[in-house]
């Protein structure tokens, strides 16, 4: 009990400074009376969501000055492990269904997950497209220098799916350990093309050029989100989830290169 006291004191202090008008007994509660959200909110989200979730978090915080949003951006599998090991998180957004399943199988979710975004593969080429890449078929050319993710990581598994669907035998020169490493090699101009996610192309800005291809529809990656059972303030957690699935949230995701869920 003694160890918990400083945390309570800090929380109370934060709440006090946030809503100066309320009485001390109200101040200790995670949220205030008139609908405005206060207190801490911890969001665990896939690394690919870093930019767009930070932006949405700033929005929510601007509407609720008493809210203290903390993000933990990392690989979805690392986050899922942390949550099942008892890390204090209020919301979890995963980059794929399988890592969300890890969390729901452990019973850590407060409700059924909702798919809030989709990501598809895109061909990334250096500016000016020195390799003259026109479509997915060029990945079967042994004379070009090509990067694809290793089949052990999600973007590599998706790549295998699209190659199988297109009937292409890929001839990559390197199987990268994650999507960012593949993108870096395009940015350095060391490969003619790499297969990455559309959102990664968007995030890289002018450093790379994206070429969409029709076979990408064969490996659509779904991003599920849910609030967690141990949430300090379920209302704040729900408010963040609602913002992500709202029109404004969807617009921000689309601007970042994601797609709105089709179903």
Partner 1 sequence: MGVAFLVLPLLGLLVRAPWSDLGPQLAQPQVGQALRLSLVSATLATVVSLVLGVPIAWVLARSTTRGRSVLRALVTVPLVLPPVVGGVALFLVLGRQGIVGRWLYETFDYTIPFTTTAVVVAETFVAMPFLVISVEGALRAADARFEDAAATLGADRWTTFRRVTLPLVAPGVAAGAVLCWARALGEFGATITFAGNFPGTTQTMPLAVYLALQSNPEGAIVLSLVLLFVSLATLLLLRDRWLGRSGVPS
Work out whether 166 is an interface residue with partner 1 (CB under 8 A): no
Strand order from edge to edge, sheet including 91-93: 67-74, 39-46, 91-93, 221-227, 114-119
153 belongs to the binding site for partner 1 (CB under 8 A) = yes
152 binds partner 1 (CB under 8 A): yes
User: How near is the Cβ of 89 to partner 1 at its closest, in Å?
Assistant: 22
Among 51, 173, 234, 261, binds partner 1 (CB under 8 A): 173
CB 209 within 8 A of CB 75: no
Q: Residue 106 Cβ, how far from partner 1 at the closest point, in Å?
A: 18
Are the C-beta atoms of 110 and 226 separated by less than 8 Å?
yes
Where does this chain touch partner 1 (CB under 8 A) — which range of 13-21, 81-89, 114-122, 150-158? 150-158
- 143 is a site residue for partner 1 (CB under 8 A): no
Q: Does 190 bind partner 1 (CB under 8 A)?
A: yes
Q: Which is nearer to partner 1, 150 or 232 (CB)?
A: 150
209 near partner 1, judged by CB under 8 A: no
Piece of the chain touching partner 1 by CB under 8 A; list 45-53, 109-117, 180-188, 208-216? 180-188
Q: Cβ closer to partner 1: 75 or 210?
A: 75
Applying CB under 8 A, the span of 41-49, 182-190, 220-228, 251-259 interacting with partner 1 comes to: 182-190
| Closest to 226 in 3D by CA, of 136, 121, 131, 101 | 101
Q: How far is the CB of 55 from partner 1 (least distance, A)?
A: 29
Nearest to 214 by CA among 162, 171, 140: 162
User: Does the footprint of partner 1 cover residue 145 (CB under 8 A)?
Assistant: yes
The CA distance from 124 to 194, in Å, is 5
Among 185, 196, 201, 244, contact with partner 1 (rule: CB under 8 A): 185
User: Of the listed pieces 37-45, 79-87, 181-189, 200-208, which binds partner 1 according to CB under 8 A?
Assistant: 181-189
Site for partner 1, rule CB under 8 A: 77, 145, 147, 150, 152-153, 172-177, 181, 184-185, 188-190
């Amino acid at each position: 009990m003694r160890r918990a006291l400083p945390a309570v004191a800090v929380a109370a202090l934060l709440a006090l400074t946030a809503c100066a008008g309320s009485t001390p007994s109200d101040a200790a509660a995670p949220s205030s009376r008139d609908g405005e959200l206060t207190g801490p909110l911890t969001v665990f989200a896939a690394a690919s969501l870093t930019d767009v979730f930070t932006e949405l978090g700033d929005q929510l915080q601007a509407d609720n000055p008493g809210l203290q949003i903390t993000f933990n951006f990392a690989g979805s599998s690392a986050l899922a492990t942390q949550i099942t090991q008892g890390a204090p998180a209020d919301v979890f957004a995963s980059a794929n269904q399988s890592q969300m399943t890890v969390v729901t199988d452990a019973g850590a979710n407060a409700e059924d997950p909702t798919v809030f975004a989709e990501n598809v593969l895109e061909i990334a080429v250096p500016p000016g497209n020195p390799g003259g890449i026109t479509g997915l078929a060029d990945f079967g050319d042994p004379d070009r220098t090509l990067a694809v993710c290793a089949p052990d990581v999600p973007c590599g598994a998706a790549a295998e799916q699209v190659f199988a669907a297109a009937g292409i035998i890929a001839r990559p020169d390197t199987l990268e350990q994650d999507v960012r490493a593949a993108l870096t090699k395009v940015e350095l101009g060391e490969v003619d093309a790499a297969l990455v996610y559309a959102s990664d192309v968007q995030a890289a800005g002018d450093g790379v050029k994206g070429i969409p291809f029709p076979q990408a529809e064969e490996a659509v990656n779904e991003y599920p989100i849910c609030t967690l059972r141990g949430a300090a303030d379920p209302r704040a957690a729900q408010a963040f989830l609602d913002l992500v699935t709202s029109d404004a949230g969807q617009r921000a995701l689309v601007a970042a290169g994601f797609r709105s869920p089709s179903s």
